Amino acid sequence: MADVDRHVTLGKLVQLVQAGDTRAFELLIEETQSKLYRFCSILTADKSLADDLFQETYIRAFAKIRKLREPSQFSAWLFRIAKNVYLDDRRSEKTRAQGREMIKSQAVEEAALEPTNAIAVRRALSQFDPPDKYLLALVDLAEFTYGEAAEILGESESAVKSRAFRLRKRFAKILSGD
């Protein structure tokens, strides 16, 4: 589906949900789940945490969708919810303590289960601050356009392009070991 058509379709689906059509919300999930799950996976670097973040994002979106003023902006709004849920979760002291334990055991699992490149990519991403990780995840992994990423992050498109260029250079440098 072309981006313009997708925005129109998502906007119409949002309007249907706002009018009480729960089947339309199922269609919204079908249209957005692939990109959202990739985004959640990159943010958390853990399958069960990504699953939780993914589900919580849709739960909050469903609960608040009637307040969305611009239905055509659903995708950007949804990804902001995911980012905010992730940040809220990270701020929790309990979650941080559990995360440290998970990371220790996860390193062993990754070494045994994932190809070397995937491990290197995750390690490289772990060296970025959350805002930079979000940008890379949105543009390079979830395949949003610069304009869509700018909308989600609340920045100008030129700022996103510039930052993405610098981050990619840094990412490549980390991967190459320089």
Residue-wise pLDDT tens digits, 146-158:
888 888 888 899 9
Q: What is the pLDDT of residues 15-32, one digit of tens each?
A: 999 998 888 999 999 999
CATH of 1-112, one of 3.20.20.70, 2.30.30.30, 1.10.1740.10, 2.40.50.180: 1.10.1740.10
- pTM attached to this predicted model: 0.64
* Domain 114-178 sits in CATH 1.10.10.10: yes
Q: What is d(CA 36, CA 21) in angstroms, rounded to the nearest whole number? A: 22
Q: Degrees (nearest 5) of the Cα angle 172, 139, 89?
A: 95
Q: What is d(CA 44, CA 52) in angstroms, rounded to the nearest whole number? A: 10
C-alpha to C-alpha distances, 143 to 31, 100, 140, 148, nearest whole angstrom: 14, 30, 5, 10
Domain-by-domain residue ranges, the chain?
A: 1-112, 114-178
